[in-house]
Amino acid sequence: MPSPFLSAVTENMRMKHYAEKTIKAYLYWITSFIYYNQKKHPNECHDDEVQSFLSYLANQRNVAPKTQSLALNALVFLYKEFLGNPLTLDLKFNRSTVQPKLPVVLTISEVSLLLNNIPVSLSLPIQILYGSGLRLMEVLRLRIHDIDFNYLSLQIWNAKGGKHRRVTLAKELVPSLKNQIERAKIFYQQDMNNPKYKGVYLPYALAAKYPSAPTELSWHYLFPSSNLSVEPATQCLRRHHIHESSLQRAVKNTARKLAFDKKVTCHTLRHSFATHLLQRGADIRTVQEQLGHSDLRTTQIYTHVLQAGANGVRSPLSDLLAEFK
């Protein structure tokens, strides 16, 4: 039986229009915090317990800095937004210092091999992952009007950190994209004939600003799900986008079938996009803008990938062996 407290936290987040993935992540860390404190009610805990928990994550669980930050954000929400008792702004805890791993990057020939073997039904969104360097959910959340055929670009709204950006679009994908729009239009026409259909999901601010948008074709997802579903927060019947697991499974299974000796995920294609742009001489600031990174240091990790091998540093062994040829 679900905890009444956690159910209330969930309902509070839904009322504030938090994304379902954010709700799931916050609930995980709030639950972990409660168990860490021997199931004491969070009202009986505050700064000291939060500091101890965050230090535990760094010292005993060796979580990555981003994971520790996510746990902190969950607890900040809990105490400020739900319990009305904000944490101090000067929490003292051991910060995670686990060094980030260098990203896994495919060669151009490996990307070609992967894309040529992806199931046809999912090839377009996966081509966009690499061709435009998008995150998985950025591809899935594309709406029909986000495609700019005139300027060969995609508009990405409310991405990580709430940022908007415009990214490149390979002109070779234009025919496939137009065909995909026609497929999405078939679903749209079916749905508009369903009296129970309430239109596509829009964030609250947009839904309030454009009340007719949920039933307009241009606002519907480019990659719609084959099934209608009930939106948890409103109980409205809607058509969502395809589930991320379908793309994740396709990439993973294809890489396994091809016997790649690298761990390949959807995000690997984004890493490969950035690295290949730099290999072709793109300015790092341009790559930063395409990826939507706030901090240039995040983008510079791809220069480390290039510099780690013969592209950046010539091994002295190469000179030595060359003498004997």
> Is 225 a domain residue?
yes
Strand partners, 155: 166
> Is 320 a domain residue?
no
**Residue 242 shares a structural domain with residue 141:** yes
Work out the pLDDT band at 297, boundaries 50, 70, 90: confident
Residue ending a domain, choose from 54, 82, 110: 82
**Residue 167 shares a structural domain with residue 64:** no
Instruction: Clarify whether 240 is annotated catalytic.
Output: no
Question: What's 42's domain CATH number?
Answer: 1.10.150.130
Q: Amino acid identity of 82?
A: F
Residues 6+ apart with CB under 8 A from 65: 95, 96, 97, 98
Instruction: Clarify whether 166 is annotated catalytic.
Output: no
**Residue 205 shares a structural domain with residue 288:** yes
> Whole-number mean pLDDT of the chain?
92
Q: Tell me: the pLDDT tens digits for 174-215?
A: 999 999 999 999 999 999 999 999 999 998 778 888 899 999
In angstroms, the CA 125 to CA 147 distance is 13
Parent domain of 72: 4-82
> Is 88 a domain residue?
no
> Is 286 a domain residue?
yes
Given the residues 220, 241, 276, 293, the one annotated as active site: 293
Residue ending a domain, choose from 18, 53, 82: 82
**Residue 64 shares a structural domain with residue 130:** no
Instruction: Clarify whether 220 is annotated catalytic.
Output: no
**Residue 139 shares a structural domain with residue 244:** yes
pLDDT value at residue 143: 98
**Residue 293 shares a structural domain with residue 225:** yes
**Residue 129 shares a structural domain with residue 29:** no
Tell me which of 100 and 192 has the higher pLDDT: 192
Q: Collapsing DSSP states into helix, strand and coil, what is residue 167?
A: strand
| Chain length of the chain | 325
Work out the pLDDT band at 137, boundaries 50, 70, 90: very high
Residues 93-108, mean pLDDT to the nearest whole number: 84
Residue 262 in contact with residue 106, Cβ under 8 Å? yes
Residue ending a domain, choose from 82, 113, 132: 82
CA angle in degrees (0–180, nearest 5) for 225-229-235 = 150
Question: What's 250's domain CATH number?
Answer: 1.10.443.10
> Is 25 a domain residue?
yes
**Residue 46 shares a structural domain with residue 132:** no
> Is 322 a domain residue?
no
Indicate whether this model's pTM tops 0.85: no
Residue 191 in contact with residue 239, Cβ under 8 Å? yes
In angstroms, the CA 173 to CA 90 distance is 50
pLDDT value at residue 159: 87
Given the residues 14, 135, 165, 240, the one annotated as active site: 135
Q: How many domains does the chain have?
A: 2
**Residue 37 shares a structural domain with residue 145:** no
**Residue 62 shares a structural domain with residue 155:** no
**Residue 71 shares a structural domain with residue 134:** no
**Residue 112 shares a structural domain with residue 183:** yes
> Is 94 a domain residue?
no
Given the residues 270, 276, 280, 297, the one annotated as active site: 270
Instruction: Clarify whether 325 is annotated catalytic.
Output: no
> Is 96 a domain residue?
no
Given the residues 16, 160, 257, 314, the one annotated as active site: 160
Residues 6+ apart with CB under 8 A from 161: 292, 294
